Amino acid sequence: MGAKEAYESRPWLKFFLKEVTPDVPIPEKSVVEMFDESTDKWKDKTALVFYGRKISYKELRDQTDRLATALADLGVKKGERVALLLLNSPQFIIAYFAALKAGAIITAISPVYVSPEIKHHLEDSGAKYLVCQDILYDHVDRTGVKLEKIIITSITEYLPALKKFLGSSILRAVYQKMSAPPAELFKKEGFYQLQELIARYPPNPPKIQFDIKEDLVTLPYTGGTTGLPKGAMITHHNLVSAQTLGTKAWGNVMEAGKEVVLAYLPFYHIYGQSVVMLGGISQGYTLVIFTTPDLDDILNSIESYKATVFYSVPSLYEALRDYARTDRVNWKRLKVLVSGADALLEDTAKGWEKRTGTKIHEGWGMTETSSVGILSPYGQPKVGSFGVPLPNTVAGIADPDKDEFLPVGETGELVVKGPQVFKGYWNNPEETKKMSMTVDGERWLRTGDLARMDEDGYFYFYDRKRDMIKYKGLAVFAREVEEVLCGHPQVKEAGVIGVPDPEVGERVKAIVVLETEARGKLSEQEIIAYCTEHLAYYKVPKIVEFRGEVPKTDVGKVSRRELRDEGV
């Protein structure tokens, strides 16, 4: 059996639950149809909980349809881009589906972006319409980008009366320098208030016909680790496939209309948008929404709302693992705990299981796969592995520089094919071509992740291709060094990068955050000595720098790009 055939034989299928088939039918429908079916079926059920305020599926549908009617009247037409600059809130979900019903393509912007980043996002996507959080508008104003219509909303609009003042104070703590725009703004042409539009228009949205395999739903922008961020073109078929495959992968474990999910992962990010928001709404779950992931709020809500599914990221599992109040939750009562968006360190997984008695199911996905592609089989996670491909999905390991597969067990670039794989990058055919590998006439997505597959079909992450360090021609995986560093009992977190050196190519540099009690007591030489005991000589950091923190991305990953950009 050749290397390609070894992957296409899908050795992982033996780990599927008995009710899960290798390939499942993908419904031929749009995301709008998916939303309408769900809100009809579960209309009397609670769809959203926002700091105590409950919104039923019926109310969600009514407000969405009213805003969709308004957007169509304001001039939104099929294929136009509507940008969302919103925190996690009911408004995000309402605006998202309303814009789709008006025929628009969604492009969601990170709330932590500053004006130059927002400007690139708006100009590159060609968005002319924007739904914006009031306290974030100032950054938009500074871009100088001319938009046709801007709809403003406040976080307090969906808070219970007694918590409206609390909502403002929470946001002031997070966005200290931001303030709501003056009332005079709404006297200007092109500015509207979201609640006024919902109140004024009837729930009579236009009937849009979608070509589900060609028409786009969303245009999320990648993190821009190489060059400026790029818009990923994700179709109705991509997202409906992602929801179907993510749901079917675990058979009957999760029940439609019955699960309660904490929704604090940012909705603008593909993980929060596709897995949590769309996955939850399409299955009739109750989403308990948070604007910011406060540990006490999360723990209290798991208990008070009887949460059944917990989607999170490694950095939050690490924080909870060491948090004094984590034991207040009976974690064994939850059906499943999932980690995504970054690699889960073995130390974190083992420490979590020891603390709570529960296993974390790791998954893998990226913006270009509509967030989902590989997931630990239910009840059978392997520590260190991010799982096996979903139904209808094939993954393999290829040569990073050639369109050739590598034998099972070797480390190379993870490649994927499946119905959830995106169309390509917005107005960027060159970058689209770089992400593709064609073998025997079939297109595979080059993920940029270095990984390997074991004989059982489980995949293991090593590093991003761009983060691999070359020392005298030898490959050093930054993540491997970080994992060793984080295994030191006095190291809280670490980031590893390569520093150019004409003599050896790159030297390994470690940026280390020590536990509070170790600061000023542990030396750089002691860190190097510890690594020498656990790593081959060429992987040992030659430079160690202590810091109070390492830069992180919005979803808690160590931002090696920022470390490299510092020129250190």
Rounded CA gap, 546 and 466, in Å?
24
Structural domain contains residue 522:
yes
Whether residue 494 sits in one domain with residue 386: no
Is the same domain home to 484 and 373?
no
pLDDT score at 341: 85
For residue 164, what pLDDT is reported? 55
Q: What local confidence, expressed as pLDDT, does residue 224 receive? A: 44
Residues 6+ apart with CB under 8 A from 133: 85, 86, 87, 89, 91, 111, 152, 153, 154, 155
Q: What is the CATH number of the domain that holds 539?
A: 3.30.300.30
Q: What is the pLDDT of residue 315?
A: 84
Specify if 139 maps to a domain. yes
Residues 475 and 449 in one domain: no
Last residue of a domain, one of 209, 240, 258: 209
**Pair 478, 442 in one domain:** no
Per-residue pLDDT, 167: 53
Residue 409 sits in the same domain as residue 452 = yes
Predicted pLDDT of residue 222:
81
Q: Note whether 157 and 8 are same-domain residues.
A: no
205 and 250 both lie in a single domain: no
Q: Among candidates 287, 284, 274, 285, which has minimal Cα distance to 241?
A: 274
- Residue ranges making up the domain that contains 240: 3-26+226-463
Q: What is residue 173's predicted lDDT score, i.e. its pLDDT?
A: 52
Could you tell me if residue 39 is inside a domain?
Answer: no
- Indicate the residue among 414, 441, 463 that finishes a domain: 463
Residues 377, 231 share a domain = yes
Domain final residue pick, 443, 463, 483: 463
Residues 303 and 234 both lie in one domain: yes
> Which residue in the block uniquely carries the two structure tokens 């079916």?
37
Judge if 301 and 198 occupy the same domain.
no
Domain count, the chain: 3
**pLDDT for res 225:** 39
- pTM here is 0.86
Query: Is 36 inside any structural domain?
Result: no
pLDDT confidence of residue 179? 64
Clarify whether residues 489 and 450 are in a common domain. no
> What are the per-10-residue average pLDDT scores of the chain (568 residues)?
91 95 96 98 97 96 98 97 97 98 97 89 97 93 95 90 57 57 76 96 97 97 68 97 94 95 94 96 97 90 96 91 93 95 86 95 95 94 94 96 94 96 94 91 93 96 81 79 90 90 85 90 92 87 91 77 73
Q: Give the CA dihedral 289, 172, 340, 486, nearest 10 degrees.
A: -140
Q: Is residue 217 part of a domain?
A: no
Q: Count CB-CB contacts under 10 A for residue 536.
A: 11
- d(Cα 510, Cα 496) in Å, to the nearest integer? 5
**Strand stretches in 390-503, DSSP E:** 394-398, 412-417, 424-425, 436-439, 442-453, 459-464, 469-471, 474-476, 491-501
Q: What CATH number did the domain enclosing 160 receive?
A: 3.40.50.980
Identify whether residues 117 and 240 lie together within a single domain: no
Q: What is the pLDDT of residue 170?
A: 54
The domain spanning residue 439 has which CATH number?
3.40.50.12780
How far is residue 270's CA from residue 107's CA, in Å, rounded to a whole number?
11
**Residue at 274 is within a domain:** yes
